[in-house]
């Protein structure tokens, strides 16, 4: 090809935002009194150092909001009487990472180690009896959709969900309670009975023409397999009971 065509292609490729970058940054809005305390200047560089993820402070329209408790979201810090929740408004994985870090022991210790110039220190939120709903974001949300569309034919895919309840088919919650659940969800499409009716785009071999799928075939993408994993990761493991027979 002519040199100029190659150059145009290279320039076009360079101009494309690198996909990884999207996930290294998220936007964050914090309550004004928290911003004024200097807490974020203290914890964000430490978070960035640990995770390689960076928060960009904005005034609104953020991926994540650290705001005075309003009944929703995950309570992450308290100061005096005030309780602050972290609310994730988009599926930005870097923001989810921040939520994980902030609620982890390391994150909580980092918050507690900060000494504000004035006013009381920040502390972990008081424990409440209320169970905070897990709001599914991004991939996990897609994963639940894929599960409900394609897997619920046989599996019970959520605690509320119903399934045709084919006796030998394990519920997702039961599978989630196995120590190697993630390996099973990464490879289920290679394990019977799935290969007979389910293809993963670009990964599974085509169906054997001599043995057409016994039920309406399903095709899902590798990204959807990942999304299923993200969804199942957030499910509460079932009390195993007698549901699963170890094989």
Residue with Cβ nearer ligand HEC (106 or 215): 215
Stretch that binds ligand HEC, among 6-14, 44-52, 87-95, 149-157 (CB under 6 A): 149-157
Closest CA to 50 of 91, 96, 90, 97: 97
Segment lying near ligand HEC (by CB under 6 A), choices 45-53, 103-111, 124-132, 146-154: 146-154
Listed ranges 19-27, 113-121, 134-142, 148-156: which one lies at the site for ligand HEC (CB under 6 A): 148-156
**Residue 65 binds ligand HEC, judged by CB under 6 A:** no
Q: Is 191 in the site for ligand HEC (CB under 6 A)?
A: yes
**Closer CB to ligand HEC, residue 12 or residue 245?**
245
Of 140, 220, 141, 142, give the one whose Cα is nearest residue 188: 220
- Residue 6: CB atoms within 10 A of its CB come to 10
Least Å distance, CB 96 to ligand HEC, is: 21
By the rule CB under 6 A, 145 interacts with ligand HEC: no
Our CB check for ligand HEC shows the closer of 119 and 217 to be 217
Q: How far is the CB of 240 from ligand HEC (least distance, A)?
A: 14
Q: How far apart are CA 233 and CA 230, in angstroms?
A: 5
Cβ neighbors of 77 (< 8 A, separation 6 or more) are 66, 83, 84, 102, 111, 122, 123, 124, 125
The region of 48-56, 107-115, 117-125, 166-174 touching ligand HEC under the rule CB under 6 A is 166-174
Distance CA 31, CA 86 (A): 11
For residues 47 and 100, the answer to whether their CB atoms sit within 8 Å is no
Interatomic CA distance for residues 228 and 186, integer angstroms = 9
Under rule CB under 6 A, residue 193 binds ligand HEC: yes
Q: How many amino acids of this chain bind ligand HEC (CB under 6 A)? A: 19
Tally the C-alpha atoms within 13 A of residue 245's C-alpha that lie toward its C-beta. 3
Enter the tokens of residue 79: 């100061």
Judged by CB, which is closer to ligand HEC: 39, or 151?
A: 151
Interface residues toward ligand HEC, by CB under 6 A:
150-151, 153-155, 168-170, 175, 184-185, 188, 191-194, 215, 220, 228
């Amino acid at each position: 090809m002519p040199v100029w065509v190659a150059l145009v292609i290279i320039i076009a490729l360079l101009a494309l935002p690198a996909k990884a970058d999207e996930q290294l940054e998220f936007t964050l809005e914090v309550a004004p009194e928290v911003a004024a305390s200097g807490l974020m200047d203290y914890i964000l560089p430490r978070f960035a150092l640990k995770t390689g993820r960076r928060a960009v402070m904005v005034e609104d329209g953020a991926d994540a909001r650290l705001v005075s408790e309003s009944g929703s979201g995950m309570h992450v810090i308290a100061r005096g009487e005030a309780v602050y929740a972290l609310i994730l408004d988009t599926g930005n994985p870097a923001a989810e990472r921040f939520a994980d870090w902030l609620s982890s022991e390391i994150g909580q210790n980092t918050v507690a180690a900060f000494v504000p110039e004035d006013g009381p220190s920040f502390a972990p939120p008081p424990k409440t009896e209320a169970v905070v709903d897990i709001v599914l974001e991004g991939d996990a949300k897609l994963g639940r959709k894929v599960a409900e569309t394609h897997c619920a034919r046989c599996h019970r895919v959520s605690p509320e969900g119903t399934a045709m309840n084919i006796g030998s088919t394990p519920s997702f919650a039961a599978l989630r309670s196995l120590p190697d659940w993630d390996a099973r969800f990464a490879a289920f499409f290679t394990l019977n009975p799935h290969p007979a009716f389910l293809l993963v785009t670009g990964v599974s071999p085509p169906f054997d023409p001599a043995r057409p799928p016994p039920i309406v075939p399903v095709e899902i993408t590798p990204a959807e397999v990942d999304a299923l994993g993200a969804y199942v990761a957030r499910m509460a493991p079932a009390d195993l009971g007698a549901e699963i027979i170890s094989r």
